[in-house]
Chains A and B, each alone.
Chain A
Amino acid sequence: MLATLIGFLGDFDLAEEATQEAFAVAAERWPRDGIPSNPGVWLVTTARNRAIDRIRRDRTLAAKTRLLEIPEATEDSVDDATFPDERLELLFTCCHPALAIDAQVALTLRTLGGLTTPEIARAFLVPEPTMAQRLVRAKRKIKAAGVPFRVPPDHLLPDRLAAVLAVVYLIFNEGYGGRGELAAEAIRLGRALAELMPDEPEVHGLLAMMLLHDARREARFRDGELVLLAEQDPALWDAAQIADGRLVLGRALALRGRGPYVLQAAIASLHADEPRDWPQIAALYGELSRLTDSPVVELSRAVAVAEADGPEAALDIVDTLDLDDYHYLHATRGELLSRLGRTAGASEAYRRALALARDDAERRLLQRRLAALRE
């Protein structure tokens, strides 16, 4: 509903205010007059009419005359009218690269996720006024700078779709660290996107990857402590969601998808098998690494290589990586060195990881690893 109104009005604030007014009118009238046969259309029409009234009242917005030329529909005679689904346009506007990434994420959660400003502030651990300010600034920039409300044309689409997927993935990752409502929200956005852009393999790839990772949520923590994948209890995995994720992955592969999200989904799918096909996982990480040129992906490949070819081969990869500030690099080195029986090197590596890790659960996990070395 909000997407339709923003598309129509070209103004986030006006659309939000009009939506609130329409709900208020509904709360007053529906109990008295009965619920209209198409409540959604009724709400959009009412909100639209309220917005037009407001524009008429507000001389500073009189420039938007195009809106005033549209004949006004009466609120109770439009039950068969349809309004376009403009969620996709809204998503591309919220994720426009002219906005800072923080603002893209917040705006997407606010307008498409329907989260309130205090909820978003809590989820990202920032004070509420900061988040409110971020949203105000983003909405103002969209309006002032002329950020278009549309699905980008073909020549811009690949880059811009990547930006949208990155925002959804970022929301999911925030949730993966423990704030489950954000992960669920990201999956909802991913589903909407897959429905709206059914021919884009990466869209399905991202959704599949999120479903497959999220299916292991219950197994990732035991009594508040982080449990590594290798030590998770598969009985705690959500089998139905894994099946769903694999179905979505199948769709991505049928579209000949071989992009970063499809590859990550394929890897997540292999991780849900018992026993795991480590050579295949390592090969997929190799493909992903070539695509992304990311040392973090190389680190993951090293972990798979350790299982497929042994810790020595993995250590050769790890020691070429320029990731000195990344605690997972040192945690991985610690693990590999400990398997090779090089205890002194291992505890040194764990200690460096500890100095860099910020998350409490991660820190406790590292302390347990370090303590295990001394036994």
Chain B
Amino acid sequence: MKYMLLIHQGDAPTPRDPEAWAKLSEDEQKAVYADYMAINRTEGVSPGVQLDEPETATTVRVADGKTLTTDGPFAELKEAIGGFMFFEADDLDAAIELAARIPAARLGGAIEVRPVLEP
């Protein structure tokens, strides 16, 4: 099975917000990097890309043929996606275990695990 793991950053601090990031101890900061590195090296993982802050998002809709743009992400700021990765795994339990290792999950964010439809 192939899963997409969507990382919702929530309140989890990232280096892109230096003030929040500074609230983590140096050891915690190192652990975040080390955990992401270990996850990206895990067999079956295809790392996605990191996205810039949700504040930089633009949301586009089309109504009556007219393009409407709004400032900000589609979801609430806190619920916006901060990144994603793919994981090829035997079953949902394996995907849940990987999701639980993603630092954002323990720092105030959440991971959404979605099966990818096979063609």
Contact = CB atoms under 8 A, between A and B. Distances in A.
Interface of A: 96, 98, 144-148, 152, 156
B93 A145 contact: no
17 contacts: A96-B92, A98-B92, A98-B96, A144-B115, A145-B92, A145-B113, A145-B115, A146-B1, A146-B3, A146-B90, A146-B91, A146-B92, A146-B95, A146-B115, A147-B92, A147-B93, A148-B91
Question: In this complex, which of A145, A146, A148 has the most chain B Cβ atoms within 10 angstroms of its Cβ?
Answer: A146
B107 to A, nearest CB: 21
A148 B93 contact: yes
Interface of B: 1, 3, 89-93, 95-96, 113, 115
A156 B115 contact: no
Contacts of B1: 146
B90 A148 contact: yes
A145 B95 CA distance: 10
Nearest to A96: B92
B43 to A, nearest CB: 17
Contacts of A98: 92, 96
Contacts of B90: 146, 148
Contacts of A146: 1, 3, 89-92, 95, 115
A156 B93 contact: yes
A156 B113 CA distance: 18
A146 B113 CA distance: 11
Nearest to A147: B92
Nearest to A97: B96
Nearest to A152: B93
Contact of A148 (B3, B92, B113, B115): B92
A62 to B, nearest CB: 13
Contacts of A148: 90-93
Contacts of B92: 96, 98, 145-148
Nearest to A153: B93
Question: In this complex, which of B1, B92, B96, B113 has the most chain A Cβ atoms within 10 angstroms of its Cβ?
Answer: B92
A281 to B, nearest CB: 39
A156 B90 CA distance: 16
Question: In this complex, which of B3, B91, B113 has the most chain A Cβ atoms within 10 angstroms of its Cβ?
Answer: B91
Given A145-B113, A146-B90, A147-B92, 7 more contacts: A96-B92, A98-B92, A98-B96, A146-B3, A146-B91, A147-B91, A147-B93
B105 to A, nearest CB: 15
Contacts of B113: 145
Contacts of A144: 115
A148 B91 CA distance: 6
Contacts of B89: 146
A211 B90 CA distance: 39
A144 B113 CA distance: 12
Nearest to A155: B97
The 5 closest A-B pairs by CB, nearest first: A148-B91, A146-B1, A146-B91, A146-B92, A147-B92
B118 to A, nearest CB: 8
Contacts of A147: 91-93
Contacts of B95: 146
Question: In this complex, which of A98, A144, A145 has the most chain B Cβ atoms within 10 angstroms of its Cβ?
Answer: A145
